[in-house]
Amino acid sequence: MSKLSLFALSGLWLLASAAMAQTCQTETEVPGSTPSTDFTDHGNGTVTHITTGLMWMKCPLGQSGADCATGNANTYSWQQALETADGYSFAGYSDWRLPNIKELSSLVEQRCYGPAINLSVFPATPGSFFWSSSPYALYSGNAWYVGFGDGHANGGNRGGYAHVRLVRSGQ
């Protein structure tokens, strides 16, 4: 089976899981890895992760509103994601970019799945693939992504489609 087929099949499973309700273990079972207290909400569609100093868009591209309930999260090929991020303007900033795999992985909430992200900070996040800017060294036609269904990172075919959440360096 080709890498693209595996990426597509995995994507179908994760898209199906996006419709499921988020499940989280309690704080006594597993401590939260991205508690809401680690983020500052600026009230303009952006949040800053105090731990990393990075500013994130609350909503994936294609969604908007305080609860990200307006619109649908768009999907892009890896090249389209990089091109869309280049010069993107939002909330008064024009230096948004696609996060690298380490930055994107910092949003994974280890005690949750379906999606594996803090929904109080990043509401309505689909439990599916999100592109990083990091190429996948093992296969030159792949790039790293995080599957927010379960929070795992892997390499996917750059021609496959995934969601995008943009980041910018903090002040």
> What gap in Å lies between CA 88 and CA 54, rounded to an integer?
16
Q: Which residues contact 66 (CB under 8 A, 6 or more apart)?
A: none
Domain boundaries, the chain: 3-18+34-168
Q: Which two tokens stand for residue 83?
A: 């091109």
CATH class of 3-18+34-168: alpha beta
pLDDT tens track, the chain, 171 positions: 444 444 443 444 444 444 569 999 988 888 899 999 999 999 999 999 999 999 999 999 999 999 999 999 999 999 999 999 999 999 999 999 999 999 999 999 999 999 999 999 999 999 999 999 999 999 999 999 999 999 999 999 999 999 999 999 976
